[in-house]
């Protein structure tokens, strides 16, 4: 598939570009696959199936892509989607106290690309995008049992600011809320 969007970040085999309307199927597949790779071993098949059907259908992804409050950054290696991030403005939770915040809703990397720098490249692109759009704070929720992601976010100067409930099917789970000032330097 040829994409008309310009690469916003590039390394020898990795390109990060803005998501477009025609990316709904890619985001549905990549989102469902990466979410399953990360969370299926620790959750019931019924809860996973319910969440995946609601969150990652092509129609849901098309709706999110069309939403003016959301933006997507897609990481591709040699033309294959290996991760993506979703930023969304508005709907700020009360624990978020930083000025002019934007949410990092998702930062997903495929299992085969973990540890390859894709997550770091996506985070850099998210920080640049948020700064360019005039936001001052980046915030997110991360599952309390996802130690790898928590360590990644701490490395990027996110600090814990509270918790909230994330509904996975019929299972109410606890997400740790974290934020970072966008004025902080980008690590390493």
pLDDT in tens, 75-93: 999 889 999 999 999 888 8
Domain coordinates in residue numbering, the chain: 7-181
Q: Give the tens place of pLDDT for each residue, 23-62.
A: 999 999 999 998 888 787 777 888 889 888 888 999 999 9
The pTM for the full model equals: 0.87
Whether 6 shows a pLDDT value over 90: the answer reads no
Q: pLDDT at residue 102 above 60?
A: yes
Mean pLDDT of the chain: 88
Cα angle value 51/55/59 (rounded, 5°): 135
Beta-carbon contacts of residue 148 (< 8 Å; ≥ 6 apart) = none
pLDDT of residue 165: 84
Confidence band, pLDDT 50/70/90 cuts, at residue 174: confident
Q: Which option is the CATH number for 7-181: 1.10.230.10, 3.40.630.30, 3.30.230.70, 2.40.50.100? A: 3.40.630.30
Over 50: is that where the pLDDT of 108 sits? yes
Q: How confident is the model at residue 10 (pLDDT cuts 50, 70, 90)?
A: low
- Give the residue numbers annotated as catalytic, written as ranges: 153
**Tokens 């690469």 identify what position?**
7
Nearest one of 148, 151, 139, 135 to 187, comparing CA atoms: 151
Q: Which residue has the tokens 């997903």?
A: 108
CB contact set of 104 (below 8 Å; sequence gap of 6+): 85, 86, 87, 126, 138, 139, 140
């Amino acid at each position: 598939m040829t994409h008309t969007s310009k690469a916003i970040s590039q390394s020898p085999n990795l390109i990060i570009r803005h998501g477009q309307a025609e990316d709904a199927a890619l985001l549905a597949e990549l989102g469902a696959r990466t979410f399953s790779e990360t969370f299926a071993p620790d959750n019931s098949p019924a809860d996973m199936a319910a969440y995946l059907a609601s969150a990652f259908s092509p129609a849901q992804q098309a709706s999110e892509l069309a939403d003016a409050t959301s933006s997507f950054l897609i990481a591709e290696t040699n033309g294959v989607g290996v991760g993506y991030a979703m930023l969304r403005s508005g709907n700020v939770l009360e624990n978020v106290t930083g000025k002019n915040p934007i949410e990092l809703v998702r930062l997903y990397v495929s299992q085969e690309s973990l540890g390859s720098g894709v997550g770091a490249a996506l985070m850099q692109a998210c920080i640049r995008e948020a700064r360019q759009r005039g936001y001052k704070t980046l915030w997110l929720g991360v599952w309390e049992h996802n130690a790898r992601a928590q360590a990644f976010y701490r490395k990027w100067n996110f600090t814990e600011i509270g918790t909230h409930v994330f509904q996975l099917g019929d299972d109410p789970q606890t997400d740790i809320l974290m934020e970072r000032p966008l004025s902080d330097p980008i690590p390493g």
